[in-house]
Structure 1
Amino acid sequence: MTSFRLVPSAGPSRRGRLRRSLYAVLAALLAGLVAVTGASTAATAAAPKWWEPVNPQTPDSQVGVTGAPFTGSRGGEVRGLVDAHTHMFSDEGFGGNVVCGKTFSVDGIAAALQDCPAHKPNGNLALIENLTNARLGGNPFASHDTVGWPTFSFWPAYDSFTHQQMYYKWVERAWRGGQRVLVNDLVSNSGLCMINGVVNPPNRSSCNDMDAVRREAKKTRELEAFVDAQYGGAGKGWFRVVTNPEQARSVIEQGKLAVVLGVETSEPFGCKQVIGIPACTKGQIDRGLDELKALGVSSMFLCHKFDNALCGVRYDEGTTGVIVNLGQFLTTGTWWNPRTCKAGEVPDHTVAGGVLPKELAIAFPVAILPVYTAGPHCNPRGLSSLGEYALRGMISRNMMVELDHMSGKAAGRALQILEENRYAGALSSHSWMDSSYMERLYALGGFATQYGHDTTQFVADWRASKAQRDRFGVGYGFGMDMNGFGGTPAPREGAATSAAGPVVYPFRSADGGSVLTRQTTGERTWDVNVDGVAHYGQVPDWVEDLRLVGGQELVDDLMAGAESYLRTWEATASH
C-alpha cells in the first residue's frame, strides 16, 4: 500500500490551508477504506460455513467432527448411511416417564439431559432400568447415579434402556459422520405405560398410543425449527423432515439429513383386541391412516408387541418377553397364546410362561399365569380381516409397510397381498422378520436393514446376507432401535489384541471427507473401544469399527444404503 506523509505549508495562505484540507480528507478516506476492508475481511473469515450454526447454543455438547459434509450425487445416485429404525422421541411416549432426558430443550442441555424425577435420588425406584440393566445384576432395587449433565457417570450407556441416547447434537455427529437417512419411528406402548404408571407414578401424559404419535410428530417438527433457528432461519438447518422420496433425494444431495417419519405402536388407531374382540372399525382405520398421512408419516407397523385387532405378533423372549406379556394381559385381558410350531411353520421365538419377576407379581397380583407347551413357539394369530383392510389402505395411500414384529403367519399373508399388488413398499428394518421371507421381500423391490448389533455379529450377518443382496443389487443399512429398549452395541471384545485392532482416534468418516475425534459432552468423553455405542453420536465410531473388522467393502455397502432405501420409496410412491 502507498504511504502518505502530510507536510505543512510555510505560512497560513489560502493555498496552504486548502492543501492541508485536501490532505486531511484524503487521509480520512484512506483510513476509512482500510477500516472497511479490514472489517469486511474479518467478517468473511469469521462467517460460519453452511454446516456450522450461526447462533449456537452455549454451553452444548461438542460434535467432534471437522470437514465439510459431502454433497451431490454420483451418476444420479446418492450416497450415505441409512438408519431405518430408531426412536428420537421415546421420552414423549409410554406416558412420558419411561425414557429419561429430552432430545432437545429450548432451555439448553442442562434442562434436556436430566434423569426422570422418579429415579431420584439414587435410582432404586427405577424398576424397568433395574430389571433390564446387566450392570445392575437384575436387582430391582439397585442404585445408579441419577446425574446427567454435566458428569454422565452412569448414562447414557449401551446397556441402559431408560435414558436418552438421541440428544440432537449426538444425532448431528452421526450426520456429520456420513449418515443421510434417519427413520424416526413414533413409538409408544400402552401396557408399558400402565406398568410404569403404577411402579413409578405419575405418568406425565396419556397412555393412548395415538396421542403419543401426535406428540412425537409435533416434537420432530419443533426440533427441525429449533435447528433451523441456529443455522439462520427456516429451511437452513441440517435436520430436514421429508414426506416423499423427491424431497429426501434433494435433501441428501444438499448434504443434509433426511428424516422420515414412521409409526411403531401396539394399538394403532385404537385397534386393540379385548378378550379377542376387535376394538376398532374400518372407519377408524381409514381416519387413522388419513391422519398419519397428514402428519407426514411414510411407513408404519400394523402390530408391535401385543396381539391386536390387525395381526398377531412375533414374541419377545427372556425378561423383556415376560414384561411385554404382562402388558398384553393388562391391556387386552389375554396372554400370548403360543403353540408348539408344526413342521414347516415359521417360528415366532420361544417364550416363558408361569413366571413373573416377584416385584411385578406384587404390584400386579394375577391368579392364573400362562403355562406354555415346549418351544419353538408359533403364534396362531395371523393377519385378521381388519389387518388386511389396513394393509390395503396403506397400499392405496402409498405408505411403506413394516413387516418386522408380525407373526410368521401374519408376515406370510402380508407378503402375499403385496405380491398380488406388485407393491414394492415392504420393509424389514431391524431383524424382526424371519430371514426365510427375505427373498420375497427383495423380489418385490423392498429394503431391509440389520439390527445395530455388536460389531462381530453385525459383520457376520452382513457376510451371511451379502450374496442374496448382491443378486438383487441392494445396499445395506442398520436399524439401531435407539431409545427402543433393545440395547446398543457393546465394546468389541478383544479389540486391543485382535488382528483388526481397536478404533484409533482420530479417524476418517465413512465417506472419507471428515475427521472425527472422541465425542465429548460436558465432563464426559466417550471411546467406542471402552464404552461401545453409548449414544447416537457414536454411530460413526461403530461404523469405523465395522470397517476394521469387515473391510471397506462393508462400508461401501452401507454407503449404498441411502440410494436403495430411496428406490424402494420411489417405487412405492409411484405405484
Structure 2
Amino acid sequence: MIVRLVVALALLAAALTPASAATPWWEPVARPAVDSQVNVTGEPFKGTDEQGRVRGFVDAHNHLMTHEGFGGRLICGAPFSEQGVADALKDCPEHHPAGLGAIFEAIVTGDLDGHDPVGWPTFRDWPSDTTVSHQQNYYAWLERAWRGGQRVLVTDLTSNAELCVIHPFKDRPCDEMTSVRLQAQRTYELQAYVDRMFGGPGKGWFRIVTSSEQARNVVAQGKLAVVLGIETSEIFGCRMLLDIPLCDKADIDRGLDEVYALGVRSAFLCHKFDNALCGVRFDSGTQGGVINAGQFLRTGTWWKTEQCQGPQQDNPIGTVGPNALIPAGVVAPAYDPAKRCNVRGLTSLGEYAVQAMMRRHMMIEIDHMSVKAAGRTLRLAEQAGYPGIVSSHSWMDAQWTEQVYRLGGFIAGYENDPGGYVAQAAAAEPLRRRYDVGIGFGSDYNGVGSHPAPQSGVTYPFRSYPDGPLVDRQRTGERVWDINVDGGAHIGLLPDWVEKVRQLGGDQLVTDMLGGAESYLRTWSRSQSWTP
C-alpha cells in the first residue's frame, strides 16, 4: 500500500510539474524518442528593432509536400509521419534493388548506376545534392534551418499532370488541383504535428500565416512564418489543347476563391508548359528537350519561338530529339538560335487572372513566365500601382529587377552554387541600396531542381551570423552531413550554405539576407492595403 501511495504521489507531482517548465521555448517538450537531430544550440533570435523591423532569412521557393504530387510516388519519403522518422524517411519500394528502379532519377540526373535505396538509419546515398526523387524537407531538417535564422518559408503546392501520366508508378489521381488540395491539407497536418511536440495548438515554431500582420507577429516571436503558394502547369484546370483554352473566367474566379480559402496567398499562373493563361520561359539543355516533348504531349503544340522585341530573352531551348517521349512518326521542330523568345505571352484569360489576383491582394509570381507574359504582367501591375510581384528563384530576367523593386515587389535568388548566388547578389546591390530592400533565396527543395555541390572551408561549429545559435554538423540516424562533403543535400544545410555565402560575399550580404523577412512582409503588406 505504501509503495502504491509513493508511486501515486510521484505521478501526481509529475503531472503538476509541466515538462515545459524547464524547457526553453525553442525546444520541444515531447519529441519522439527516436528522431533526427537538429544540431543547433542556443536561442533563436526574435523581436524587432527600434523601427519595428523584423529580421530573418527568407526561403521564397520550396516544396514541402511534393511527395503527394505527381501521382504520389515520384518523391520518396515524407516531411513527417505519425509513425516516426523510420516511416517518414523510407525509400520507394520500386527503387529496390540497388536503386535500379528509380527511373525518373536516372533520366533526369543521367545516373544509371543506381543507388543504395535504404534511408533511415544509414542514408548511404540519399538525400544528396544531386537527387531529384528523395525527400529533402524532413521537418527536423527544416527545424534546423529555422533555428539557424530562417523566418519566412514559401511552400509551393506543386504537381504536373503529364509527368504523373508518364511516370509508371502512382497511387492517386494526376489532376493537379486535386493534388494541391491534398498538399495544403498535409501542410496543416504538419503544423499540428509540430504543435503537439511543443505543448499544443499554436505553440510550435511552424506557423502557417494568411496575412502580413500574422506573419510579422510570428517572425517577431522568433518562429517560422509559412506562406502557401501554388506552382503548377494547369492552375485551375487552365490547360491549353491545340491552342484551345480549357477554362474560362468563371473557372479562374472559382479556383482563386477556393485556394484563397485554403490559405494560399501566392501563385504562378504558368509553369513548364504553355497553358491557357500564359506562355512559359523555356528550359534549357537535356531537361528542356524533355519538357518540350511533354509540352507537345499535353498541349498538342511544341514551343514556338520568335525574334525578341527587347533586351530580355527567354532561355535557349534544349535539344528535343531523339526522345523516348516523342510518338513514332512525329518530327520535333528545329529552332533558330537567333529566335530566343516564346511567341506566347499573357493571354486575355491570363490578364483576367492577373487582375483577379490583384483584387484578392495575392502575390503574383513572374518566374517561369515568358518574356512576353512577364513583361505584360509588369505593365499591368505598373498601371494599377500594384506592388505584389515576386521573383522567387532567379527565373525572371535580371533586367527587370529595378522595375520589380520600384513597384514594391520582392526578389530572391536561386540557392545554387554559393559563388553564383554571391555574384548575382553583387550585381543587384546598388539597386538594393537605392530601394532599401533585403534579399531572399529560393531553395526549391523537392522541386526536381539542382542544389549546391560540396563546398570547402566551412568550419564546424560556427555561429549563425551575427549573433544566432551555434551550428554543428547535422546528424540523422547513422549519417552525418557536412556541407564540405555533401553540399546542399537537404534543407537542414541552409545555415551551412549561408555561412559559405558569408565567407564569399561578406557580412553585409548576409545582413541584406537577414533583411529579407522585413522586405517580403512589406511587399505583402502593401499588396493587402492596395486599392484599385
Shorter chain as denominator, the TM-score bin is over 0.9
Q: Decide whether the 8 Å contact of 1:510 with 1:559 is kept in 2.
A: no
Change (3 A) 1:371 1:71: same
Aligned to 1:168: 139
Secondary structure of the corresponding residue to residue 70 of structure 1? coil
2:67 to 85, 91, 111: 91
Matched, 1:405 2:368: yes
Q: Decide whether the 8 Å contact of 1:353 with 1:369 is kept in 2.
A: no
Matched, 1:516 2:471: yes
Deviation at 1:68, TM superposition (A): 0.9
1:427 to 364, 386, 390: 390
2: CA distance between counterparts of 1:41 and 1:73? 35
Deviation at 1:570, TM superposition (A): 0.2
Aligned to 1:485: 448
Deviation at 1:328, TM superposition (A): 1.3
Aligned to 1:291: 258
Map 1:225-264 onto structure 2 (within 5 A): 225-264=192-231
**1:223-277 deviation line (CA, Å, top 9, x unaligned):** 0001101111100000000000000000011111000000001100000100010
Deviation at 1:125, TM superposition (A): 2.5
Aligned to 2:39: 64
Aligned to 1:417: 380
Map 1:12-161 onto structure 2 (within 5 A): 47-75=22-50, 76-133=52-109, 138-139=110-111, 141-161=112-132
Change (3 A) 1:540 1:125: same
Q: Decide whether the 8 Å contact of 1:70 with 1:511 is kept in 2.
A: no
Counterpart residue identity of residue 517, structure 2: A
2: CA distance between counterparts of 1:283 and 1:114? 42
Q: Decide whether the 8 Å contact of 1:299 with 1:401 is kept in 2.
A: yes
Aligned to 1:6: none
Deviation at 1:43, TM superposition (A): 7.3
Q: Which runs of 5+ in 1 are unaligned?
A: 1-34, 496-501
1:206 to 164, 169, 173: 173
1: CA distance between counterparts of 2:318 and 2:351? 30
Matched, 1:324 2:324: no
Counterpart residue identity of residue 347, structure 1: Q
Aligned to 1:306: 273
Aligned to 1:29: none
Change (3 A) 1:453 1:376: farther
Q: Decide whether the 8 Å contact of 1:404 with 1:431 is kept in 2.
A: yes
Aligned to 1:32: none
Counterpart residue identity of residue 314, structure 2: D
- Count of residue correspondences: 522
Moved more, 441-450 or 344-353: 344-353
2: CA distance between counterparts of 1:520 and 1:241? 27
2:239 to 272, 276, 287: 272
Aligned to 2:340: 377
2: CA distance between counterparts of 1:381 and 1:546? 37
Moved more, 451-460 or 370-379: 370-379
Secondary structure of the corresponding residue to residue 240 of structure 1? strand
Matched, 1:396 2:396: no
Deviation at 1:354, TM superposition (A): 4.5
2: CA distance between counterparts of 1:229 and 1:41? 19
Aligned to 1:7: none
TM-score scaled by length of structure 2? 0.94
Deviation at 1:41, TM superposition (A): 12
Counterpart residue identity of residue 294, structure 1: A
Map 1:532-551 onto structure 2 (within 5 A): 532-551=487-506
Q: Which runs of 5+ in 2 are unaligned?
A: 1-9
Q: Decide whether the 8 Å contact of 1:311 with 1:387 is kept in 2.
A: yes
Q: Decide whether the 8 Å contact of 1:57 with 1:108 is kept in 2.
A: yes
Q: Decide whether the 8 Å contact of 1:261 with 1:296 is kept in 2.
A: yes
2: CA distance between counterparts of 1:433 and 1:412? 10
Change (3 A) 1:276 1:545: same
Aligned to 1:504: 459
1: CA distance between counterparts of 2:19 and 2:198? 17
2: CA distance between counterparts of 1:327 and 1:125? 22
2: CA distance between counterparts of 1:234 and 1:485? 33
Aligned to 1:349: 315
Secondary structure of the corresponding residue to residue 449 of structure 1? strand
Counterpart residue identity of residue 92, structure 1: E
1: CA distance between counterparts of 2:21 and 2:196? 19
Change (3 A) 1:47 1:286: same
Aligned to 1:461: 424
Deviation at 1:356, TM superposition (A): 3.5
Secondary structure of the corresponding residue to residue 51 of structure 1? coil
2: CA distance between counterparts of 1:387 and 1:525? 47
Change (3 A) 1:40 1:407: closer
Deviation at 1:371, TM superposition (A): 2.1
2: CA distance between counterparts of 1:533 and 1:342? 36
Matched, 1:529 2:484: yes
Q: Which runs of 4+ in 1 moved over 3 A?
A: 38-46
Percent same amino acid among aligned pairs? Answer: 54
Change (3 A) 1:305 1:49: same
Matched, 1:571 2:504: no
Deviation at 1:94, TM superposition (A): 0.9
Q: Decide whether the 8 Å contact of 1:192 with 1:324 is kept in 2.
A: no
TM-score scaled by length of structure 1? 0.88
Aligned to 1:182: 153
Aligned to 2:7: none
Q: Decide whether the 8 Å contact of 1:346 with 1:409 is kept in 2.
A: no
2: CA distance between counterparts of 1:356 and 1:305? 20
Aligned to 1:450: 413
Secondary structure of the corresponding residue to residue 323 of structure 1? helix
2: CA distance between counterparts of 1:444 and 1:326? 36
Counterpart residue identity of residue 55, structure 1: A
Change (3 A) 1:41 1:95: closer
1: CA distance between counterparts of 2:325 and 2:151? 42
